[in-house]
């Protein structure tokens, strides 16, 4: 299937690009907002991804973090984060990856997340399960939030709102629940899919952060919703992704409905 071949080829090529830049001197600039970095590696990885896609599918819609929205009348939309975890990458931390999702008529069709530093290539196609380096993966079996290992992320700018990121984080850790913060939402989602984390939540993500990862979680047997438990959409900011077994309880923790 040419779509799958193109997706895998683009992710692998971008992975090689960010490997080449890693640990070298490269230009870093700041986009709008605090610590919203972009590097030469982001742009170079994005270029090779788009070149590969446009060679095979020149009329397809593309949404990419760095270049923005490039609409077309096509029913296919490629959603690209050429380097998820840019702050990590810029500081020499290998917790970063390439993420590419392919949407068809509003439904995620397939997605790939590639961390070349860990040699981990995650892939999912709707209805066909999820894999890590071509081996099937499944979510964990944990049934209680109190015994779970969770992961989250903090947006750099957000309103001081009830049940905001710091409130939820504090609520969980004060009860002894381990909550990690790794700096790459795409990796967080893949590690939920692989059973390493039992759940992930974040208050503010963009479509390119989660397009591939959320499908990988679902295809690994997990559940992904917004904070109300409604069906997840890439185009709203909130996400909860779990093994499914702790999902309803975690939603209550996030909403401030603490267990007895």
Is residue 31 over pLDDT 70? no
pLDDT at 95 (0 to 100): 97
**What rounded mean pLDDT belongs to the chain?**
92
pLDDT range class, residue 259, cuts 50, 70, 90: low
Q: Token pair 């923790």 is at which residue?
A: 253
Hey, what domains does the chain have and what are their CATH numbers?
A: 2-136 (3.30.540.10), 145-255 (3.40.190.80)
- Predicted structure pTM score: 0.93
Task: Please write the tens of the pLDDT for every residue from 120-158.
Answer: 999 999 999 999 999 999 999 999 999 999 999 988 666
Is residue 28 over pLDDT 70? no
Q: How far apart are the first and last CA of the chain?
A: 51
Among 218, 229, 248, which Cα is nearest to 239's?
Answer: 229
pLDDT average, residue stretch 236-245: 97
Which residues have C-beta within 8 Å of that of residue 233, sequence separation ≥ 6?
226
Share of the chain above pLDDT 70, in %: 92
CA distances from 226 to 37, 128, 146, 230, 256 (A): 27, 24, 21, 6, 15
pLDDT range class, residue 70, cuts 50, 70, 90: confident
Among 65, 178, 194, which Cα is nearest to 136's?
Answer: 194
């Amino acid at each position: 299937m040419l779509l799958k071949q193109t997706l895998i080829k683009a992710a692998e090529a971008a992975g090689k690009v960010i490997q080449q830049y890693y640990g070298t001197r490269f230009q870093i600039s700041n986009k709008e907002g605090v610590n919203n970095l972009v590097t030469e590696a982001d742009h170079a990885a994005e270029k090779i991804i788009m070149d590969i896609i446009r060679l095979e599918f020149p009329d397809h819609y593309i949404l990419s973090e760095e270049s923005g929205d490039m609409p077309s009348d096509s029913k296919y939309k490629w959603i690209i984060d050429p380097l998820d975890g840019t702050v990590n990458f810029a500081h020499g931390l290998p917790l970063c990856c390439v993420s590419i999702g392919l949407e068809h008529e509003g439904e995620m069709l397939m997605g790939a997340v590639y961390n070349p530093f860990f040699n981990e290539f995650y892939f999912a196609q709707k209805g066909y399960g999820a894999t890590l380096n071509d081996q099937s993966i499944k979510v964990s079996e944990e049934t209680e939030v109190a015994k779970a290992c969770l992961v989250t992320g903090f947006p750099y700018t957000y309103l001081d709102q009830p049940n905001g990121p710091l409130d939820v984080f504090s609520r969980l850790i004060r009860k002894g629940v381990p909550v990690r913060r790794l700096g790459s939402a795409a990796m967080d989602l893949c590690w939920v899919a692989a059973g390493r984390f039992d759940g992930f939540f974040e208050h503010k993500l963009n479509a390119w952060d989660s397009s591939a990862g959320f499908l990988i979680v679902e295809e690994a047997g997990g559940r992904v919703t917004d904070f109300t438990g409604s069906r997840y959409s890439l185009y709203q900011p909130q996400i909860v992704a779990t093994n499914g077994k702790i999902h309803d309880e975690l939603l209550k923790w996030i909403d401030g409905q603490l267990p007895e």
